[in-house]
Structure 1
Amino acid sequence: MSGQQKEPIKNKRIWIVFGILLALITPWYFPKSFGEILIYGIPLWAVIIIIASMLLSAFLSYVIKNHWMMEEENEEDEKNETKGVR
């Protein structure tokens, strides 16, 4: 990979998205009317939580794949640089 990657813990945008998604999977602040609205027999609050959980999983996968620097990657990059392999 080209360029220096930052650790995700230092990226404020990642924390903002995590905060929003975590707020969406917390049901106790939803209004009572969300329990009365049904979508295919499932309460609206449950649908929101299911969708937010899937988004959280996808976002975590994205962060780990693209923003997290693993020690093994650093070691492999260093080995390849010393051998002249790209």
Structure 2
Amino acid sequence: MSQPKKEPIKNKKVWIVFGILLALITPWYFPESFGDILIYGMPLWAVIIIIASMLLSAFLSYVIKHHWMLEEENEANEKEGVK
């Protein structure tokens, strides 16, 4: 049987991952040398931000799908319990 879902706001691991990913998409702390390194014509800092943005989107999708308790799920569970 699956574990009951909790609100992700109470999960410290979710907040840690959010913090790391949000720090990676913030470009102003990157060293100036990151602008000199090019990957397929793009500066290294831009590549890091693009990859971190995709990871942030994927992580948000995971959290919403697997950790977020939706009202529809509550209603469906209550109806099944009544029958």
Measured on the aligned residues, the alpha-carbon RMSD in Å equals: 1.1
Any idea what the Cα deviations from partners look like across 1:10-38, whole Å, max 9, x if unmatched?
A: 00000000000000000000000000000
Q: How does 1:67-86 map to 2 (within 5 A)?
A: 67-83=67-83
Q: How does 1:28-67 map to 2 (within 5 A)?
A: 28-67=28-67
Structure 2 gap ranges (5+): none
Q: Return the letter of the residue paired with 1:61.
A: S
Number of the residue aligned with 2:7: 7
Distance in 2 between the 1:2 and 1:81 partners?
A: 16
How far apart are residue 6 of structure 1 and its match? 1.3
How far apart are residue 47 of structure 1 and its match? 0.1
Secondary structure of 2:69's match? coil
Q: Return the letter of the residue paired with 2:68.
A: W
Compute the TM-score of the two structures, normalised by the length of structure 1: 0.92
Structure 1 gap ranges (5+): none
- What number of residue pairs does the alignment pair up? 83
How far apart are residue 71 of structure 1 and its match? 0.9
Runs of 4+ off more than 6 Å:
none
How far apart are residue 81 of structure 1 and its match? 1.9
Secondary structure of 2:51's match? helix
Compute the TM-score of the two structures, normalised by the length of structure 2: 0.95
